[in-house]
């Protein structure tokens, strides 16, 4: 279970994209007459997951910008 949590934390955007596309694909094939309310609930939850993923990625980028680069040896 810890490996799954680690993967999700490292790759939130990939997980969000996979979940959204998989559910949409399955629903369209299995039950084309699904109630609109359930579809709207899914879409809103997907948007929330996407927002969470974007914020995690933004935090990673911001922390990387404030990290000092590694010292490189100049062997020329």
HEC sequence for 24-41: HHHHHHHCCCCCHHHHHH
pLDDT at 74: 58
Rounded Cα distance between 67 and 65, Å, is: 6
DSSP for residue 68:
P
pLDDT digits (tens, 9 = 90+) for 30-72: 877 877 777 777 777 777 887 788 788 888 888 888 887 775 5
35 vs 4: which has the higher pLDDT: 4
């Amino acid at each position: 279970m810890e490996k799954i949590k680690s993967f999700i934390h490292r790759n939130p955007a990939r997980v969000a994209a996979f979940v959204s596309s998989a559910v949409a694909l399955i629903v369209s094939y299995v039950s084309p007459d699904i109630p609109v309310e359930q579809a709207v609930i899914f879409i809103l939850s997907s948007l929330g997951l996407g927002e969470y993923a974007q914020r995690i990625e933004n935090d990673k980028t911001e922390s990387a910008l404030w990290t000092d680069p590694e010292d490189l040896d100049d062997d020329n």
